[in-house]
Amino acid sequence: MEYVRGDRFGSEFTTRRAWSLHRFLKRLTLHPVLRRAPLLAIFLESPDWNAHMRLRSSRNNSTSDSSSTTGIFDNFTDSFVNAFTKVHKPDRRFIEVREKADKLEEDLNHVEKIVARVARREADLETDYNDLATQFRKLVPLEPDVEVPLQVFAASVEETGRGLKTLKDHTDQNYLGSLRDMTSYITSLKALLKTREQKQLDFEALVDYRNKAVAERDSLAANPSSYYASNPLTSSPASFIRSKMEDMRGVDHEQSRRERVRKLELRIDELTREVDSAKTTSEMFDEEVVREVADFERIKAVEFRDTLGALAEKQIDFYQGVLNTWERFVAEMDGDEGEGGAGPDTQDDGR
């Protein structure tokens, strides 16, 4: 909502973004490849990051304008075709990773709703404590004899409210943001798995194309008459129509068949090279995804440990502060009672 209202420079919004940037940079430093990226070093060291990114963006635009339209169309076509295609031989390793990612994302969404509700309750408690302190201070003019206890009690309530605010701010701005950032990280991992699946689909599609070309070549070599069959009852519709079209143009059927076989041989050789290249690419991508999943698990464990540990420390600090505040209040009240009770006893001893 801060983007909608335009409150992008408020303290709460900037604090959330600062914590998100901190977590993102820590992920980069924990990643074995990205931590050596030149762009990360430039981000950390450059005195004018915005100027560098503008220059980088203009350079990328100038080199990609010529192929952007074709690339977008090709990506759209591949995505559209593969959306209705399933992998013939799914890899169990990546199926398990996808299932775990889906389950973790579902659990994080559930935890996020609970934590958001906890943060709202903490904010309500903070308001209630501040209102309670205000109301007790209003009693001071009405009860001047107990002004000191009322003021001390109100100050203790206010201090408890400040502790609640600190806890609420950490819960809302840091821990809740960490859950959302982890959900985004999982989404990126799932996108990587989807890209790996696209690579496998491309490989399997090329294998199917090559197999069809090989089958057609073998069929033409084993049964030459099937290429120019003239009987529609004993031949395929494609062969019959092709035969009639060649008759109309006066083409030699045998020469056309040999030309067709030659083109199929060239096509098979080309597809074989493409299949080998796609297989190598798919296998290398699988290995890279396996390493990336291992890095994800390691970084996730570190991030969960840090965020949960920080939340636990804030909880401990809050309750320790509450204990100290009210122990101090009780000690002050006991001291006032002791001073108030010492006067009559002293007078009795004098008599």
CA dihedral 178, 183, 185, 191 (to 10 degrees): -170
**Could you tell me if 116 and 176 are in contact, meaning their C-beta atoms sit under 8 angstroms apart?**
yes
Kindly give the interhelix angle for 147-169 and 92-138, rounded to the nearest 10 degrees. Answer: 160
Q: What are phi and psi of 198, to 5 degrees?
A: -60, -40
What is the structure's pLDDT at 112? Answer: 96
CATH of domain 15-27+90-333: 1.20.1270.60
Q: How far apart are CA 243 and CA 104, in angstroms?
A: 60
What is the structure's pLDDT at 229? Answer: 52
pLDDT category at 88 given cuts 50, 70, 90 is confident
Domain map (residue ranges) of the chain: 15-27+90-333
Tell me the pLDDT tens digit for each residue of 145-198: 888 889 999 999 999 999 999 999 999 999 999 999 999 999 999 999 999 999
Tell me the pLDDT tens digit for each residue of 33-44: 999 998 888 888
Tell me the pLDDT tens digit for each residue of 301-314: 999 999 999 999 99
- Whole-model pTM: value is 0.78
Q: How far apart are CA 271 and CA 268, in angstroms?
A: 5
Which residue in this structure is represented by tokens 């033409």?
220
Could you tell me which of 86, 80, 72 has the C-alpha nearest to residue 197?
Answer: 86
pLDDT category at 140 given cuts 50, 70, 90 is confident
Q: How far apart are CA 214 and CA 254, in angstroms?
A: 19
